[in-house]
Structure 1
Amino acid sequence: MSGTLRVLPLGGLGEIGKNMTVLEYEDRIVLVDAGLRFPTAEMMGIDLVLPDFAYLRDRVDDIEAIVITHGHEDHLGALPFVLRELGGESPPIYGRPLTMAMARSKLDEHRLKDVDLVDTKPGEPFDAGPFSIELIHMTHSIPDASAVAVTTELGTVLITGDYKFDQTPVDGGPADMARLAELGRDGLLLLCGDSTNADRPGWALSEAVVGPKLEEVFARCEGRIVVTCFASNIHRVQQVVDAAAGLGRKVALIGRSMKKNTNIGKSLGHIDLPEGILVQPREIDDWPDHKLVVISTGSQGEPLSALRRMAHRDHPQVELRQGDTVVFSATPIPGNERAINETIDRLHQIGCDVVTTRDAPIHASGHGYAEEIKLMLNLTQPEYVMPFHGDHKRIRLHGELAEAVGVPEENIFRGENGLPLEIDAKGARWGEPVQSGMIFVDGMDIGDVADVALRDRRMLSADGIFVVVATISEQDGSSVADPEVIFRGVSFKEEAEQLIDDIRDAVDDSIEKAAKEEIREIDLLQQVLHDDLAQFVYERIKRRPMVLPVVVEV
């Protein structure tokens, strides 16, 4: 057995989201997952956050296949951006039918047509260069979730994807524990396991428990019911539809992704909609309050989501009012708590009743708890363990669980994005780190938004901007007209207005000083003006608005 197997996470370690892993052997590559995550509050104006896949840019021709474990955004959402940015002929994309249908929908939005999407069944291995790849059925909060077993001459790597061991799933059979145990008996080289709920003891709640609890909550509601959940949580949409039908209520779907994913789920047989149960959003006001359930996106408080707009009374089709009940059938993704709490507070201000998982078991996590992680470890009996899919705390806890079931501490590799694990006949060790991190989607642009750009946006949001236009003589650099001062977004407007004459004097003083020092280049003169005015404004009002000087020569 010659050669070295490299397992390189480009996303998903030290964070929740943007999962992406490169498997490399004999200079050939298989990419598992291409996910994204949503921006944090300080990422002003950023729409999406992608893994930095610069490592792949010069290796496009080496990619044999891209395998997607399931259809959630943190595993699939970056795929169109990756394909668009890498260019060249796209490698085949493998995944189960629902996952591939969601991928096709995303690629169509980006006008990416000539991509080979391959519906793949669990238990039917296929070859990709030196790799043999097999999908293994797992249970999660979306149908068609899979683990990925990648085999080379050195052995088999198992990337679990997101999973839990739900013994009573609402769609399909339980996880294929028999196949996982076979991998363990045959000798699993490396387990890359989901760490999301490593900090939660016991076992995750079964999805089957949620449906009856939703119906109990609905039965107590006299007015309209708005349920918010992940648009990709097709199981939950079905459970809400069933609960509404049982109580004689109609259902309206709000949010583009909610409608799109429900249609995909229906076409593949994952969702059964009783005849006539759906009403169009424009018909919502035509139905009595006690006869209506709305299913909406926005469970994570996303700024432009349907529920967030409803909470801010900005939705064109749904106006919430006192007596409505809003049900959060989802748990916060770490980092989204503030946005969710703000949304909930707005709903209370309107007069809505709000039901969350603290009030009733109306959501079941799709990620296994500590006992399920230990079960995965005991079934597969890996030689090496590399915890995936979690922040550093959860990765550490996952490692402790591996030790608890007998994996030697030296065989547990707690990694980070950009740090490859290299395995050969002699054993496993860390390799040389490669470039990793984040790239941003800002409107239609994709790229590395410089720290200075985000800093400028934060400054603008805090203290606003002063624009100062100075007109100088081309001959001697002296001021030939009164400076013009414009300010926007300042919270200290009255103070600023009182300062205008003083700022004009400061501009004249700065220009006079520059003229004496014979500073005539526009760029240098603007820098001098910036420094002088920024210092002047701070000394007067103890604030740091952005100062933008503009110099015009006449």
Structure 2
Amino acid sequence: MVQKTQQKQDKIRIIMLGGVRENGKNIYAVEVNQDIFILDCGIKYPENEMLGVDVVIPDFSYIQDNIDRVAGIFLTHGHADAIGALPYLVAKHDIPVFGSELTVELAKITVRSTKGAGKFNDFHVIDENTAIDFDSATVSFFKTTHSIPGSLGIVIKTPAGQIVYTGDFKFDQAAAPLYQTDFARLAQIGTEPVLALMADSANAESPYPNTSENDIGKYILELFEYHAGRIIVASVASNILRIQQVLDAAARMHRKVILTGRDLAKIVRTALRLNLLKLPTPDILVPVKDIKKYDDHQLVILETGRSGEPLKSLQKMATNQHRTVHIHQGDLVFISTTPSYAMETAVAKTKDMIYRAGGEVKTISDDLHASGHAYKNDLQLLLNLLHPEYLIPVQGEYRLLNAHAEIAEQAGIPADHIFLTKIGDVLAYDKHGMHLSQAVTAGNTMIDGLGVGDIGNIVLRDRKMLADDGIFIAVVSIDRRKKKVVSAPKVTARGFVYMKANHDLMAESADIVKNAVQKDLDNKELDWSNLKQNMREKLSRYLFEQTKRHPVILPVIMEVKPHRTARRAPAKRKPAAAPATGEADHHE
């Protein structure tokens, strides 16, 4: 047991730091008196307009401002939307992290692969029988069904009632023992007052039952049985259940399996070591370097891509840019997980590229309702088991949260006891019940390469402008003492117009720059900022009139100064250029 001794206070707040009105980035804070319990710590993958951004993590400002009150981080499962942002928080703060055995091992892989966080090792393995006593609350867990073993829901027992967080879950009556929901435990939780239920909404729009994983296994086997060529399976790296089904089907069809990608190999090795993944035959896995030793009908290639996102890797395979695998005639590409709505365009583009390369594509969603998340009836069953006083739909975009709310109303939850929150919202509970309180600072922190949080809206705006309309550069040399432009300005562009075909446009732009600069030089007081801004404004107005485009305009101003004449060398020297204060100013 872990114990803390602190003075009790009547204070319960639930804080949305992520995971609502968005796809991924699950992180929630539950405050009970002086303790703060962090539930999950995930990432989301960037939307198309976030040009160059690798991943998006939560804004940890509120946690950092209250770090002395944080009791721990409690993880529901080992997917990136639950553990991916962990390294960026524990790199700066030594906070105990709790999770099932597999979740902790995957969290360790994530932390150790991130620069600056590798030394963190305050992990604690728990299971469905664990209860951790704090002064203000008791934290316990229950088994759930998801696409990865060791998935747990979390219960925070407070003086006012229980707060239940499901994490990702679904109900599957035919689930294998590793993945079975503990219905008895859920019923037992429901015998005591449940103050608030924070439940998975990712599949709330679907009215169709999820296909049993037992039936999905049979479907994959049949797919493998009737295809004579090579099979390339695209899956999320941490979908252990799907990987097991692929291995089993490959063994039945006497095929070897090649794993591509370091993420996948690490996860598979970890699951094997923990006996959460079984090899149907000892020699079923072969190294990727041996790919040419086997005929097409003998191979299954399991591809997950970087950070578990396989679509980009499939596109590289289809265009002969992948380092080891090139799609050719007779290949079957099997996309074995149901893509989110946000990925539909990317999936369609990927399919087209695969067909152009000679392969064919099969998506599991073409034939089955396969999801790791609860659908309508599952959500209503959960409500009937727990009887919560308040419902807080989480884990999904707004339309999904709203669909969950409608489902709950049908199950008898009053509309005023359902909260459709946004990031930063705070739900406070007092003698008047649960209500919205003053919001906290929360939002997105963007990761680009090694940069954490140094990409903001202004940078993204400039990247979008560069992508849409390119860049226009104007270089001018001036003699401030003589108040004149020394030579004709040089203008150039990239990604804006083809310069050789727009000679008149470029010449006129140079004249506009010269006139704008000369006008400023004629003033008694020269201001560098005004000079550059005037250049931008006049160029921007002219270029838009001529092209209806808004390129990023980069003015470069050089000041020419004569060298002093040395005493022993009285001969005159040619003037040399020296950069002025505004030598290369990028507008932001």
TM-score bin (small chain): over 0.9
Residue 12 (structure 1) aligned to one of 7, 19, 23: 19
For residue 151 of structure 2, what is the aligned residue in structure 1?
Answer: 145
Residues 300 and 332, structure 1, Cα contact 8 Å, conserved in 2 = no
SS in 1 for 2:484: coil
Alpha-carbon distance in 1 for matches of 2:356, 2:137:
57
For the pair 1:286 / 2:290, whether they are aligned, the reply is no
Q: TM (normalized to structure 2)?
A: 0.90
For the pair 1:477 / 2:467, whether they are aligned, the reply is no
For residue 82 of structure 1, what is the aligned residue in structure 2?
Answer: 89
For the pair 1:196 / 2:202, whether they are aligned, the reply is yes
Residues 383 and 411, structure 1, Cα contact 8 Å, conserved in 2 = yes
For residue 29 of structure 1, what is the aligned residue in structure 2?
Answer: 36
Residues 228 and 299, structure 1, Cα contact 8 Å, conserved in 2 = no
For residue 316 of structure 1, what is the aligned residue in structure 2?
Answer: 323
For the pair 1:295 / 2:322, whether they are aligned, the reply is no
Report deviation, 1:517: 2.9
For the pair 1:114 / 2:120, whether they are aligned, the reply is yes
Identity %: 36
For residue 257 of structure 1, what is the aligned residue in structure 2?
Answer: 263
Q: How many matched pairs?
A: 550
Alpha-carbon distance in 2 for matches of 1:202, 1:185:
29
Distance 1:300 1:399, change over 3 A: farther
For residue 433 of structure 1, what is the aligned residue in structure 2?
Answer: 439
SS in 2 for 1:511: helix
Residues 10 and 418, structure 1, Cα contact 8 Å, conserved in 2 = yes
| 1:411-426 equivalence runs, <5 A | 411-426=417-432
Alpha-carbon distance in 2 for matches of 1:280, 1:489:
43
Alpha-carbon distance in 2 for matches of 1:354, 1:532:
52
**After the TM superposition, which segments of 4 or more aligned residues of structure 1 sit over 6 Å from their partners?**
none
Higher relative contact order (CA closer than 8 Å, sequence separation 6+): 1
Report deviation, 1:414: 2.0
Residues 143 and 153, structure 2, Cα contact 8 Å, conserved in 1 = yes
Residues 149 and 179, structure 2, Cα contact 8 Å, conserved in 1 = no
Alpha-carbon distance in 1 for matches of 2:375, 2:538:
58
Report deviation, 1:509: 1.5
Alpha-carbon distance in 2 for matches of 1:516, 1:169:
81
Distance 1:161 1:302, change over 3 A: closer
Segment of structure 1 superposing worse, 466-475 or 410-419: 410-419
Can you list the C-alpha shifts for 1:154-204, whole angstroms capped at 9, x where unaligned?
Answer: 211000111111112235152111111111111211111111111111421
- Structure 1, gaps ≥5 residues long: none
Segment of structure 1 superposing worse, 302-311 or 101-110: 302-311
Q: Which amino acid aligns with 1:64?
A: A
Q: Which amino acid aligns with 1:194?
A: D
Q: TM (normalized to structure 1)?
A: 0.95
Alpha-carbon distance in 2 for matches of 1:240, 1:333:
21
Alpha-carbon distance in 2 for matches of 1:519, 1:79:
54
SS in 2 for 1:335: helix
| 1:212-361 equivalence runs, <5 A | 212-273=218-279, 274-298=281-305, 302=309, 305-361=312-368
SS in 1 for 2:17: strand
For residue 104 of structure 1, what is the aligned residue in structure 2?
Answer: 108
SS in 1 for 2:388: coil
Segment of structure 1 superposing worse, 445-454 or 22-31: 445-454
SS in 2 for 1:513: helix
Q: Which amino acid aligns with 1:94?
A: F
SS in 2 for 1:11: coil
Q: Which amino acid aligns with 1:250?
A: K
Report deviation, 1:301: 10
Can you list the C-alpha shifts for 1:74-124, whole angstroms capped at 9, x where unaligned?
Answer: 11101111222xx24x12100000100000111111243233111101122
Residues 218 and 243, structure 1, Cα contact 8 Å, conserved in 2 = yes
SS in 1 for 2:205: coil
For the pair 1:370 / 2:392, whether they are aligned, the reply is no
Alpha-carbon distance in 1 for matches of 2:523, 2:536:
16
SS in 1 for 2:371: coil
Distance 1:93 1:77, change over 3 A: same
Report deviation, 1:357: 2.5
For residue 126 of structure 1, what is the aligned residue in structure 2?
Answer: 132
Residues 201 and 395, structure 2, Cα contact 8 Å, conserved in 1 = yes
Residues 471 and 551, structure 1, Cα contact 8 Å, conserved in 2 = yes
Distance 1:157 1:404, change over 3 A: same
SS in 2 for 1:320: coil
Residues 301 and 308, structure 1, Cα contact 8 Å, conserved in 2 = no
Segment of structure 1 superposing worse, 445-454 or 286-295: 445-454
Residue 50 (structure 2) aligned to one of 43, 53, 56: 43
Report deviation, 1:337: 1.5
Residues 2 and 425, structure 1, Cα contact 8 Å, conserved in 2 = no
| 1:480-499 equivalence runs, <5 A | 480-490=486-496, 492-499=498-505
Residue 552 (structure 2) aligned to one of 543, 546, 549: 546
Can you list the C-alpha shifts for 1:7-48, whole angstroms capped at 9, x where unaligned?
Answer: 111111111210100010222201000011000111111111
User: Considering only CA atoms, is the larger Rg found in Structure 1 or Structure 2?
Assistant: 2
SS in 2 for 1:251: strand
For residue 576 of structure 2, what is the aligned residue in structure 1?
Answer: none
Residues 234 and 310, structure 2, Cα contact 8 Å, conserved in 1 = no
Alpha-carbon distance in 2 for matches of 1:397, 1:329:
26
Residue 157 (structure 1) aligned to one of 157, 163, 181: 163
Report deviation, 1:526: 1.5
Report deviation, 1:303: 8.7
Residues 7 and 22, structure 1, Cα contact 8 Å, conserved in 2 = yes
Residues 20 and 395, structure 2, Cα contact 8 Å, conserved in 1 = yes
Q: Which amino acid aligns with 2:182?
A: D
Residues 236 and 310, structure 2, Cα contact 8 Å, conserved in 1 = no
Report deviation, 1:298: 4.6
Distance 1:14 1:136, change over 3 A: same
- Structure 2, gaps ≥5 residues long: 1-7, 561-588
Residues 252 and 280, structure 1, Cα contact 8 Å, conserved in 2 = yes
SS in 2 for 1:341: helix
Alpha-carbon distance in 1 for matches of 2:310, 2:302:
18
Segment of structure 1 superposing worse, 180-189 or 479-488: 479-488
Report deviation, 1:484: 2.0
For residue 205 of structure 1, what is the aligned residue in structure 2?
Answer: 211
Alpha-carbon distance in 2 for matches of 1:45, 1:496:
30
